[in-house]
Amino acid sequence: MDKILVELKAVSFLSDEHRAQVLNYLNAAGYRLGLLVNFGHYPKVEWERIVL
């Protein structure tokens, strides 16, 4: 499957709850790859690649 789940956030830092949310979305959608992107982390965008 060639699809990527993208979760956008605007928080001061990413927590384990945010990562768990992406994992739950991946399981529900049947996808294997997700990107967790945080625009609230000053001064740069913070992102994580999550593989199921």
CB 4 within 8 A of CB 33: yes
Residue 45 burial (C-beta neighbours within 10 Å; 0-12, 13-18, 19+): exposed
CB 4 within 8 A of CB 31: yes
Provide the domain limits for residue 46: 4-51
Q: Which pLDDT belongs to residue 42?
A: 87
Number of structural domains in the chain = 1
Q: Which pLDDT belongs to residue 1?
A: 63
pTM over 0.75: yes
Tens-place pLDDT, residues 14-47: 999 999 999 999 999 999 999 999 999 889 999 9
20 Cα distance to chain centroid: 9
Here the tokens at position 26 are 């991946």
